């Protein structure tokens, strides 16, 4: 920990798991101006990250590339100023050129951060304002959006690329800073041009000082592939290639991810702090469906049960994979929007109640539905084969009848219910909206304001919300990175924020980014988070995706799966081995292959054999949760209940047998005591760096007074038996409430120091 600088304005914490391991000693001497430090332009917290990043940049990996650094600070901690500080530090060291790769909507913030730390003399250049092939730009910071990295031009008959232009500007032997801000944008590094460009840039500038910055840098282990400069895999490491590392982590689950994060911190390549959640409240609002909505949903389910097989037969299609792909994709989107529409009325009621209590509202959406709105406005006159045209028209008539009962566009309905655009600050990417003029009369109008682009309209809407002109804000994914909507001490609107999530994002990194809009530094009050989930079993499909990735994201980026568990979605995580086993059991039971030990729910209607037969014996959790959306309300709820009963039974069974992975546990909560008995040290053979594993044997004292149940246990005789015994003891004492009668309760604590020793199995005694 650094001893220079002024304390951060807000309470910032590390998870208990990450804080249990120390960072390396500081050997780097910072060159930042004394005035920048003494006047608090950079807090002690931000200076710590700057020093560790610059210290890690002194390391050359065994493959000859310079080591990189990952800033995993949570949303609102102040990564922007930290990054600006790293650029200034290198500028003062004589490295006058820096490449700043950033999202388009954050370029203004990046420029502001440089000014805020008193570095206005560093020239700033925007790549999109420079002609292709022009490398005359002098020293300073070159801003390039991620999309610009893959830009190409054929002007004048010459093929030019932005990547080549950047490399020419940097020049050979470039040793300046490359900042990948919001680096989760490059997560699909092997499958997208943008991701490949990020890898290519790092490969062709081996001596560059790379900084990755994101609160959600790795929502899943497979998305870490672009972090090639961390030195976790490759030449001279335990893992020859990224695939070996990925296999080792995925094989061992969330516990291994926690160890990865701890190891990265100990090795000096990573820092991750987050704003304290003290004062923040989380709750899930489960919304009951009224009978009228159930009737509409059931009609839609019956209509969608008509599969596109007849059209395929008419066309004479042999391969129908593409057809089915489009069908199920549309099926999922349709029912997702129907699930969202079911919650609008209750959301408005909750919001009005909160506003009467002197609060203001931020509503989180992911999609706006604009594409479909424009399709309806520009209905085409295309014609098909006569037989297909007849099928199409018949289907359209049924859809038209149903359409009269379907809800309106969610975003437009929300704005209308809150009093129209004059009272709602909309920060989305859509260009226009449907507005009610009077009664049932509506019209489509542009969101653009005179002299402003859509990006500037969003900024203006933000100002209206922060200034108190509007007390309801609706944000979509387009406004989920970087924008600050907290109850800031510097703005007029200091009402407590109530952040309502109407539509859960598809991925955890998007979820974290959106949650971080209302919980940031320098706030008067912490926000309230409300997650609205309808009683529809199929909506658990969307909660399941986010819950799974929130758990792995917390383990990877904060060294602790509990870091994001406070979002209260962990109970919806079905995408794990227990979910797969539970699904396999109910599938075989319903198809009559086995007799299930877990009975179906009372009043279970049955009749789901065709549902599973249609999946061609390849039923995954995501496929099951997707397709269950298309069942009538009562059927999907009963079927889902049957699934969760089996899911819970399997977890309970593993807990009783000592097989349940509880991850890294905190010992001795409350008045319990632990006493160290012995410790053994293990070294890693052939490791070029110093590293060791310490195996502690501790006595854990836990007494339950007044217990009537006594359980006698023999002393464990092997390591495996010992580990199972420890989990068994913890489970019984905390869950079952029985007293464990034994002289010693032995628990194994692993402290991982360097290079994932626990994952390698190549451990020898010293």
| The token pair that represents 574 in the structure block | 């079905």
| Stronger pLDDT, 551 or 266, i.e. the higher one | 266
Q: According to the model, what pLDDT value does residue 87 have?
A: 94
Q: Is the pLDDT assigned to residue 610 strictly greater than 70?
A: no
Nearest to 424 by CA among 482, 363, 367, 340: 363
Highest mean pLDDT among 186-200, 401-415, 748-762: 401-415
Query: Could you read off the pLDDT of 681-738 as tens digits, one per residue?
Result: 766 554 444 556 677 777 655 444 433 444 444 444 444 444 554 544 444 444 444 3
Query: Could you read off the pLDDT of 527-561 as tens digits, one per residue?
Result: 998 888 888 876 765 665 555 545 544 444 444 44
Do 720 and 629 lie in one domain? The reply is no
| The token pair that represents 233 in the structure block | 């895999």
In contact, 479 and 364? CB cutoff 8 Å? no
Is the torsion defined by CA of 754, 756, 757, 758 positive or negative?
Answer: positive
Q: How far is CA 679 from the centre of its chain?
A: 38
> Does a structural domain hold residue 545?
no
Model confidence band, residue 474 (pLDDT cutoffs 50, 70, 90): very high
DSSP state of 513: H
Q: Print the domain residue range for 735.
A: 673-760
Q: Which residues of 178-200 are buried (b: 16+ CB within 10 A; e: fewer)?
A: bbbbbbbbbbebeeeebbbbbbe
DSSP assignment of 531-564 equals EEEES-GGGHHHHHHHHHHHHHHHHHHHS-GGGT
Q: According to the model, what pLDDT value does residue 763 have?
A: 40
Task: Give me the helix-helix angle, 386-403 and 291-304, nearest 10°.
Answer: 170
Q: How far is CA 551 from the centre of its chain?
A: 9
Do 46 and 109 lie in one domain? The reply is yes
Q: Is the pLDDT assigned to residue 39 strictly greater than 80?
A: yes
Nearest to 659 by CA among 582, 731, 741, 734: 731
pLDDT, mean of residues 359-370: 85
> Does a structural domain hold residue 563?
no
Number of compact structural domains in the chain: 5
At which residue do the structure tokens 């060159």 appear? 31
> Does a structural domain hold residue 543?
no
> Does a structural domain hold residue 315?
yes
Model confidence band, residue 194 (pLDDT cutoffs 50, 70, 90): confident
Do 332 and 442 lie in one domain? The reply is no
Q: Are strands 424-427 and 472-475 parallel, antiparallel or unpaired?
A: parallel
Q: Is the pLDDT assigned to residue 466 strictly greater than 90?
A: yes
> Does a structural domain hold residue 544?
no
Least confident of 51-55, 290-294, 703-707: 703-707
CA 662/CA 254 separation, integer angstroms? 9
**Stretch (H or E) spanning 695:** strand 692-701
Neighbours of 741 (CB within 10 A): 11
Q: Is the pLDDT assigned to residue 505 strictly greater than 60?
A: yes
User: Cβ contacts of residue 178 below 8 Å, gap of 6+?
Assistant: 98, 99, 101, 201, 202, 205, 208, 209, 210, 211
Q: Is the pLDDT assigned to residue 204 strictly greater than 90?
A: yes
Q: How many residues does the chain have?
A: 766
Nearest to 96 by CA among 87, 109, 107: 87
pLDDT, mean of residues 28-32: 93
In contact, 331 and 630? CB cutoff 8 Å? yes
Do 361 and 501 lie in one domain? The reply is yes
Phi first, then psi: give them for residue 275, nearest 5 degrees: -60, 140
In contact, 449 and 404? CB cutoff 8 Å? no
CA 502/CA 472 separation, integer angstroms? 14
| Stronger pLDDT, 434 or 294, i.e. the higher one | 294
Q: Is the pLDDT assigned to residue 748 strictly greater than 60?
A: no
Do 109 and 203 lie in one domain? The reply is yes
Give the dihedral of Cα atoms 195, 197, 200, 205; nearest 10 deg: -120
Do 350 and 337 lie in one domain? The reply is no
> Does a structural domain hold residue 487?
yes
> Does a structural domain hold residue 375?
no
Query: Could you read off the pLDDT of 207-222 as tens digits, one per residue?
Result: 999 999 887 665 567 8
Least confident of 115-129, 163-177, 596-610: 596-610
Model confidence band, residue 342 (pLDDT cutoffs 50, 70, 90): confident
3-state secondary structure of 739: strand
Do 597 and 523 lie in one domain? The reply is no
Q: According to the model, what pLDDT value does residue 399 have?
A: 76
Q: Is the pLDDT assigned to residue 752 strictly greater than 70?
A: no
Do 171 and 107 lie in one domain? The reply is yes
Model confidence band, residue 48 (pLDDT cutoffs 50, 70, 90): very high
CA 576/CA 253 separation, integer angstroms? 9
Highest mean pLDDT among 129-138, 432-441, 468-477: 468-477
Do 108 and 219 lie in one domain? The reply is yes
> Does a structural domain hold residue 608?
yes
Least confident of 260-264, 440-444, 609-613: 609-613
Do 400 and 505 lie in one domain? The reply is no
| The token pair that represents 243 in the structure block | 């695939």
Least confident of 118-122, 161-165, 319-323, 399-403: 319-323
Q: According to the model, what pLDDT value does residue 554 have?
A: 45
**Stretch (H or E) spanning 364:** strand 360-364
User: Cβ contacts of residue 689 below 8 Å, gap of 6+?
Assistant: 754, 755
pLDDT, mean of residues 475-496: 84
DSSP assignment of 70-91 equals EE-PPTTS-HHHHHHHHHHHHH
Q: According to the model, what pLDDT value does residue 212 have?
A: 93
Model confidence band, residue 226 (pLDDT cutoffs 50, 70, 90): confident
Q: According to the model, what pLDDT value does residue 425 have?
A: 93
Q: Is the pLDDT assigned to residue 417 strictly greater than 80?
A: yes
At which residue do the structure tokens 């200076």 appear? 47
Query: Could you read off the pLDDT of 63-88 as tens digits, one per residue?
Result: 999 999 999 888 778 888 999 999 99
Do 634 and 700 lie in one domain? The reply is no
At which residue do the structure tokens 């388009």 appear? 104
| Stronger pLDDT, 467 or 328, i.e. the higher one | 467
pLDDT, mean of residues 116-145: 83
What does the mean pLDDT of the chain come to?
A: 76
Do 119 and 214 lie in one domain? The reply is yes
Q: Is the pLDDT assigned to residue 747 strictly greater than 50?
A: no
237: domain CATH number? 3.40.50.10810
In contact, 229 and 65? CB cutoff 8 Å? yes
Q: According to the model, what pLDDT value does residue 189 have?
A: 59
Highest mean pLDDT among 4-8, 562-566, 619-623, 662-666: 4-8
3-state secondary structure of 217: coil
Is the torsion defined by CA of 259, 264, 268, 271 positive or negative?
Answer: negative
CA 172/CA 68 separation, integer angstroms? 19
Q: According to the model, what pLDDT value does residue 478 have?
A: 67
Domain ends where: 591, 625, 657?
A: 657
Q: Is the pLDDT assigned to residue 124 strictly greater than 50?
A: yes
Q: Is the pLDDT assigned to residue 663 strictly greater than 80?
A: no
pLDDT, mean of residues 327-348: 86
Q: Is the pLDDT assigned to residue 377 strictly greater than 60?
A: no
pTM value surpassing 0.85? no
């Amino acid at each position: 920990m650094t001893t220079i600088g002024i304390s951060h304005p807000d309470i910032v914490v590390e998870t208990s798991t990450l804080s249990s391991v120390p960072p390396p000693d500081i050997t780097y001497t910072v060159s930042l101006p004394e005035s920048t430090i003494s006047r608090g332009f950079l807090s002690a917290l931000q200076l710590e990250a700057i020093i560790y990043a610059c210290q890690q940049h002194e390391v050359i990996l065994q493959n000859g590339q310079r080591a990189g650094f990952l800033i995993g600070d949570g949303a609102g901690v102040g990564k922007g100023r930290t990054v600006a500080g790293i650029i200034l530090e290198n500028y003062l060291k004589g490295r006058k050129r820096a490449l700043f790769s950033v999202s388009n909507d954050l370029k203004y913030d990046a420029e502001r951060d440089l000014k805020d730390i008193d570095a206005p003399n560093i020239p700033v250049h925007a790549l999109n304002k420079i002609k292709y092939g022009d490398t005359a730009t002098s020293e300073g910071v070159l801003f390039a959006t991620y999309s610009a990295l893959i830009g190409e031009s054929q002007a004048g008959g010459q093929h030019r690329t932005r990547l080549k232009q950047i490399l020419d500007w940097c020049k050979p032997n470039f040793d300046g800073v490359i900042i990948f801000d919001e680096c989760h944008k490059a997560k699909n590094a092997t499958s997208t041009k943008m991701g490949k460009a990020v890898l290519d840039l790092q490969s062709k500038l081996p001596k560059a000082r790379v900084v990755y910055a994101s609160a959600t840098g790795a929502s899943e282990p497979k998305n870490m592939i672009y972090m090639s400069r961390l030195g976790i895999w490759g030449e001279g490491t335990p893992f020859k290639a990224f695939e070996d590392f990925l296999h080792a982590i995925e094989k061992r689950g969330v516990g291994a991810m926690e160890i990865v994060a701890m190891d990265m911190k100990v090795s000096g390549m990573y820092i991750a702090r987050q704003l304290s959640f003290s004062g923040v409240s989380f709750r899930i609002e489960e919304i009951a469906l009224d009978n009228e909505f159930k009737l509409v949903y059931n009609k839609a389910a019956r209509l969608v049960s008509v599969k596109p097989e007849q059209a395929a037969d008419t066309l004479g299609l042999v391969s129908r994979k593409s057809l089915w792909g489009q069908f199920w994709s549309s099926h999922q989107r349709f029912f997702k929007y129907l699930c969202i529409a079911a919650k609008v009325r209750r959301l408005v009621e909750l919001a009005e109640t909160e506003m009467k209590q002197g609060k203001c509202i931020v509503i989180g959406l992911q999609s706006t539905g604009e594409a479909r709105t424009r399709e309806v406005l520009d209905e085409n006159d295309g014609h098909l084969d006569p037989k297909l045209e007849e099928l199409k028209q018949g289907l359209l008539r049924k859809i038209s009848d149903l359409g009269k009962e379907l809800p309106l566009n969610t975003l437009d309905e929300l704005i209308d219910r809150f009093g129209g655009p004059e009272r709602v600050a909309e920060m989305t990417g859509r260009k226009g909206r449907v507005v009610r003029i009077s009664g049932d009369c509506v019209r489509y109008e542009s969101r653009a304001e005179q002299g402003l682009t859509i990006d500037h309209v969003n900024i203006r809407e933000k100002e209206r919300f922060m200034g108190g002109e509007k007390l309801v804000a609706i944000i979509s994914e387009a406004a989920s990175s970087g924008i600050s909507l907290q109850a800031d001490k510097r703005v007029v609107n200091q009402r407590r924020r109530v952040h309502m999530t109407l539509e859960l994002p598809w991925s955890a990194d998007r979820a974290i980014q959106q949650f971080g809009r209302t919980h940031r530094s320098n706030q008067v009050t912490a926000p309230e988070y409300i997650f609205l989930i309808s009683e529809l079993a199929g909506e658990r499909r969307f909660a399941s995706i986010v819950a799974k990735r929130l758990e792995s994201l917390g383990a990877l980026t904060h060294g602790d799966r509990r870091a994001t568990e406070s979002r209260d979605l962990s109970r919806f995580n079905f995408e794990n081995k227990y979910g797969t086993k539970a699904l396999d059991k109910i599938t075989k039971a319903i198809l009559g292959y086995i007799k299930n030990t877990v009975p179906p729910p009372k009043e279970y209607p049955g009749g789901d054999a065709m549902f599973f037969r249609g999946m061609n014996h390849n039923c995954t959790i995501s496929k099951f949760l997707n397709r269950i959306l298309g069942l009538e309300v009562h059927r999907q709820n009963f079927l889902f209940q049957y699934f969760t009963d089996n899911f819970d039974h399997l977890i309970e069974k593993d807990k009783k047998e000592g097989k349940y992975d509880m991850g890294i546990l905190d010992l001795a909560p409350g008045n319990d005591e632990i006493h160290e008995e012995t410790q053994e040290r293990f070294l890693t053979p052939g490791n070029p760096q110093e590293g060791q594993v310490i195996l502690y044997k501790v006595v854990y004292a836990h007494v339950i007074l007044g217990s009537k149940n006594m359980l006698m246990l023999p002393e464990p005789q092997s390591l495996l038996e010992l580990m199972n015994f420890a989990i068994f003891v913890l489970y019984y004492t905390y869950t079952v409430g029985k007293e464990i009668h034994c002289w010693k309760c032995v628990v194994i604590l692993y402290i991982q120091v360097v290079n994932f020793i626990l994952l390698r199995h190549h451990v020898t005694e010293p």
